[in-house]
Structure 1
Amino acid sequence: MKKTTHLMFLVGLFLVNALSAQETEKFDFDLSQLDIPYQKFVLSNGLTLIVHEDHKAPIAAVNVWYHVGSKNEKFGKTGFAHLFEHLMFNGSENFDDDYFQAMERIGATDLNGTTNFDRTNYFQNVPKSALDVALWMESDRMGHFKDAISQEKLDEQRGVVQNEKRQGENQPYGKFFDLVTQSCFPNGHPYNHTVIGSMEDLNAAALDDVKQWFNDYYGAANAVVVIAGDVDAEEIYQKVVDHFGDIPSGPPVTHYGSYVAKRTGEIRQVQQDRVPQSRIYMVWNVPEWGNPEAFDLDFVAGALAEGKNSRLYKRLVYDEQIATSVSAYNWENEIAGIFVIQANVKPGVDNMVVENAIKEELAKFLKDGPTSGELKRIKTDYFAGFTRGIERIGGFGGKSDILAMNTVFGGAPDFYKTRLKGMKDASISSVKSVANKWLSDGVYVLHINPFPDYETTGKDVDRSALPEVGPAATVAFPQLERATLSNGMKVVLAQRNTVPLIEFRMIFDAGYAADQYAKAGTANLT
């Protein structure tokens, strides 16, 4: 028993010392362990190829990024980028069939395509033996696609996208992003509309418009191809030249730089939705993807709402039990970002109780910054997540995805090292400074409340004929009081005491009929 007690004491002492060390020691992590070796090639037609060799399994990830998203859409033509993503799976000029079925037959996994504000990507993992098939398919829809677009395919995928839009907006709180994009980004800003676009614009999308979109943005020079896995870089380069080398570069594409629509003051909106409980959103406009200040904002989100020991979760959900959930995230996009705090209000609790609690905790954070323990926890979580991600060659967060993203948005496949260093070097003072710069003003507050359960009476009046008009009502006018001033002006007073208002009106016995004694129009001019 004494040995057990002594052992427990030593374990406890170790844990206390470890926690104390976390509060004071600098975060120590060897960034060289997270290196993703690659070779970069640029074909003569402008196509960028990134190759990463990973020989642990006989598979390869093919990830194609086109530097075009909804921010490239013109007014009145929203939703084109996402609609086109769907069309690209419907067959090309030399393979006029469903891409999903063809790729699944060769054993493809992690197979999909996505569109956001800034880019459209297509990705799949395939057995090494099927890599040529994947390259043939991707190159055929990049270089041989326009003539495969038919009115029938356009109408079909238009319907699919519109149904997707309905499904998304009919989900609880589904109109949030519509309201955020319109309220947080001014008219004319590329992020002023959602990625999926409007029903009206989707209905108006014509076949020629869609083909023009392909011509404008799907050229080789506006694309990055990343291949990672059990491959040889020089061999892959030759395969890509063979498959993609004859594809035209496409026209020059204009890309935005940083365009952060920082706001001042407070904007408030209230929406009703068919939801079981109220939800509060608080949103700030913040820096773009890759901005060092965006790295620090990740620590703000982590300290406020990441994990059950985070500040907002502990107070709102655990201690005071005024909310059922709370989250915070820094959503980075290529030219601007938004920082979001979200809380579901416990039924029966006033929204303002929760909102004020959020503001109080945020004010404390702005005043004191994060603790060293919070920094260490968030850094550990981040590096653990990144490390887990690069175990995979494909899919979201895998090595091919990281290399493609950093090439398109950061200008270099290894720009991710800049973020890793920024996350490692973040300090209490840097996080506090950035938080005050971006989150002390310019908040957009949205309350989404349950739509009440209204009921009808179940009865209606007789509508077979118009009702009869009743007898005329009697009208009681005020007693008029009259007087004449010494200059001959007559005064009439009609007195009512319903409102504290005095109204004067002066009438002269001379209108346009008096023009007979003067030039026509004199009375009106007077």
Structure 2
Amino acid sequence: MTNKLKLIFCSLLVGAAGFAQEVEFTEYELENGLDVILHQDNTAPVVTVGVMYHVGAKDEQPGRSGFAHFFEHLLFEGTENIERGKWFDIVAANGGSNNANTTQDRTYYYETFPSNNLELGLWMESERMLHPVINEIGVETQNEVVKEEKRSRIDNAPYGKIIYATGINKYVFDKHPYKNSVIGTMEDLDAAELDEFKSFFQKYYGPNNATLVVAGDINIQDTKKMIAKYFSEVPKGPEVERVEIEEEPITETIEATEYDSNIQIPAKLFVYRTPSMVDRDAYVLDMISSILTDGKSSRMYKKMVDVEKTALQVLAFPRSQEDYGTYVMGALALGDTPLDTLAVSMDEEIEKLQTELISEKEYQKLQNKFENRFVNSNSSIEGIASSLATYSVLYDDTDLINEEIEIYRNITREDIKRVANQYLQENQRLELDYLPESAKE
């Protein structure tokens, strides 16, 4: 009887978890082109207001790298109705939190408030869209902030060039702007004139290039009225031309060396150019990453860390992007292990994927991992808001918040073998030796 009760209880928990993942939403568009997505969840008195603009580092002009990320900072400076430097104070004084982030493809701003401050969040984001103050003092202030961020996150951070891809993408992309880093160069920002910042805002920050998401403890009809009040009068911006640059396939191994004064342990990396994040094969590559390095039972970890003891750590992960992706594999050398030894071990694991189907047991374990990840993927209102915006802006399919798991469920063992053969070839990759600065001597 006890075991039966436990089984029933577990079944109820699983059913509840699965049900909780069904994210209902309402989506519509204002006359000015602003895409609006609303998700009502009244279980907790909190609400997230987020705006994702379809502009990222890839949209910058040559010689003006870092603009998109710079705006992530600049648009917290203040507006015509929010005093300079007071944005964060207003949010904190009303029990909220806020942040922003930038990628190659989009920029996202959000606030999370107690739900009785929903209107404040909507007003603040409409102010950011309609009345930002872009002046010399704001540009100069944020220039110093961005410089310090670059120093702390990239220049002085161990393996910063790998984490932020500044030491990778320049080799994998020749023509596409993905070759530039999101944070850009300080020389480009220093050289920019104030009018260039104003022009960038006018070009990309119109409502027709944005998606507004409101998620949490809301009433749909009341929220629609508030959105109309604060956003319907925002004038439509110019039509945005999307980047359409095709790269020639990589047909010969690219060999490169990068040095980092902040590390003592060298690393060997393989980097491949892969398809767009919307391509089904990008999902297969995600699964391949899990096979190779997800946890201590993963193939590369067991082989290189546990058995051979040649690697201190291993990694394999896709960087999914709108136009192209990259796939990074690597290992940190243990002791005096030559980097060539690490390369041989990694190639052996790639070859296994290319020549043998993974076992049914490993396949089922893989599916269980992704089912569990799906169940936990939208466990917060902030996470749901971000996911809704991302699927709408970058995938053009908001329904993926509920349906993406079906893509993973339908990936077969044969798909894994095929994709490993199609994308993880030696002549299609960058082979990067990532060394301490002292190795130059």
The partner residue of 2:376 within 380, 388, 399 is: 388
Cα deviation for residue 418 of structure 1 reads 4.6
Cα deviation for residue 360 of structure 1 reads 1.1
Aligned twin of 2:348: 360
Aligned twin of 2:433: 447
Q: 1:55, 1:230 within 8 Å by CA — same for their partners in 2?
A: yes
Evaluate the alpha carbon distance shift between residue 453 and residue 195 of structure 1 in structure 2; reply closer, same or farther with a 3 A threshold: closer
Q: Counterpart of 1:237 in 2: which secondary structure?
A: helix
Aligned twin of 1:223: 210
Aligned twin of 2:104: 117
Evaluate the alpha carbon distance shift between residue 97 and residue 446 of structure 1 in structure 2; reply closer, same or farther with a 3 A threshold: same
Q: Counterpart of 1:179 in 2: which secondary structure?
A: coil
Q: 1:31, 1:421 within 8 Å by CA — same for their partners in 2?
A: no
Cα deviation for residue 359 of structure 1 reads 0.7
Paired AA for residue 160 in structure 1: V
% identical equivalent positions: 32
- Distance in 2 of aligned mates of 1:272 and 1:46: 47
- Distance in 2 of aligned mates of 1:178 and 1:401: 25
Which has the larger helix fraction?
2
The partner residue of 1:301 within 282, 289, 294 is: 289
Q: Counterpart of 2:169 in 1: which secondary structure?
A: helix
CA RMSD of superposed structures (Å): 2.1
Evaluate the alpha carbon distance shift between residue 128 and residue 260 of structure 1 in structure 2; reply closer, same or farther with a 3 A threshold: farther
Q: 1:300, 1:370 within 8 Å by CA — same for their partners in 2?
A: no
Aligned twin of 1:155: 140
For these two proteins, the number of residue pairs brought into alignment is 422
- Distance in 2 of aligned mates of 1:420 and 1:450: 41
Q: Counterpart of 2:168 in 1: which secondary structure?
A: helix
The partner residue of 2:122 within 111, 130, 135 is: 135
Q: 1:135, 1:240 within 8 Å by CA — same for their partners in 2?
A: yes
The partner residue of 1:190 within 171, 177, 180 is: 177
**Range with greater deviation from structure 2 (288-297 or 413-422):** 413-422
- Distance in 2 of aligned mates of 1:34 and 1:369: 31
Q: 1:260, 1:288 within 8 Å by CA — same for their partners in 2?
A: no
Aligned twin of 1:498: none
Q: Counterpart of 1:51 in 2: which secondary structure?
A: strand
Cα deviation for residue 95 of structure 1 reads 0.6
Aligned twin of 2:270: 282
Evaluate the alpha carbon distance shift between residue 318 and residue 262 of structure 1 in structure 2; reply closer, same or farther with a 3 A threshold: same
- Distance in 2 of aligned mates of 1:70 and 1:454: 32
Structure possessing the higher radius of gyration over alpha carbons: 1
Is the counterpart of residue 323 in structure 1 residue 328 in structure 2?
Answer: no
Cα deviation for residue 392 of structure 1 reads 1.0
Q: Counterpart of 1:340 in 2: which secondary structure?
A: strand
Q: 1:258, 1:334 within 8 Å by CA — same for their partners in 2?
A: no
Is the counterpart of residue 332 in structure 1 residue 320 in structure 2?
Answer: yes
User: Which gives a bigger RCO, structure 1 or 2 (Cα 8 Å, sep 6+)?
Assistant: 2
Deviation by residue 1:40-59 (Cα, 9 ceiling, x = unmatched): 12111111110011010111
Q: 2:215, 2:384 within 8 Å by CA — same for their partners in 1?
A: yes
Cα deviation for residue 85 of structure 1 reads 0.9
Evaluate the alpha carbon distance shift between residue 307 and residue 107 of structure 1 in structure 2; reply closer, same or farther with a 3 A threshold: same
Evaluate the alpha carbon distance shift between residue 266 and residue 454 of structure 1 in structure 2; reply closer, same or farther with a 3 A threshold: closer
Q: Counterpart of 1:449 in 2: which secondary structure?
A: strand
- Distance in 1 of aligned mates of 2:146 and 2:210: 24
Cα deviation for residue 342 of structure 1 reads 1.8
Q: 2:374, 2:405 within 8 Å by CA — same for their partners in 1?
A: no
- Distance in 2 of aligned mates of 1:303 and 1:454: 35
Aligned twin of 2:362: 374
Cα deviation for residue 257 of structure 1 reads 5.8
- Distance in 2 of aligned mates of 1:453 and 1:363: 31
Runs of 4+ in 1 over 4 A off after TM superposition: 30-33, 257-261
Aligned twin of 1:314: 302
Q: 2:254, 2:431 within 8 Å by CA — same for their partners in 1?
A: yes
Q: 2:28, 2:36 within 8 Å by CA — same for their partners in 1?
A: yes
Q: Counterpart of 1:63 in 2: which secondary structure?
A: strand
Deviation by residue 1:323-344 (Cα, 9 ceiling, x = unmatched): 0000110110111100111211
Aligned twin of 2:331: 343
Cα deviation for residue 35 of structure 1 reads 2.2
- Distance in 2 of aligned mates of 1:411 and 1:348: 48
- Distance in 1 of aligned mates of 2:439 and 2:392: 51
Is the counterpart of residue 267 in structure 1 residue 254 in structure 2?
Answer: yes
Q: Counterpart of 1:250 in 2: which secondary structure?
A: coil
**Range with greater deviation from structure 2 (191-200 or 367-376):** 367-376
- Distance in 1 of aligned mates of 2:202 and 2:231: 16
- Distance in 2 of aligned mates of 1:49 and 1:306: 36
Paired AA for residue 264 in structure 1: T
Cα deviation for residue 149 of structure 1 reads 1.3
Q: Counterpart of 1:347 in 2: which secondary structure?
A: coil
Evaluate the alpha carbon distance shift between residue 453 and residue 379 of structure 1 in structure 2; reply closer, same or farther with a 3 A threshold: closer
Deviation by residue 1:7-51 (Cα, 9 ceiling, x = unmatched): 9xxxxxxxxxxxxxxxxxxxx9x9876321111121111111100
The partner residue of 1:404 within 372, 389, 396 is: 389
Evaluate the alpha carbon distance shift between residue 370 and residue 117 of structure 1 in structure 2; reply closer, same or farther with a 3 A threshold: same
Aligned twin of 1:508: none
Aligned twin of 2:37: 50
TM-score scaled to structure 1, two decimals? 0.77
Q: Counterpart of 1:264 in 2: which secondary structure?
A: coil
The partner residue of 1:433 within 415, 418, 422 is: 418
- Distance in 1 of aligned mates of 2:355 and 2:24: 42
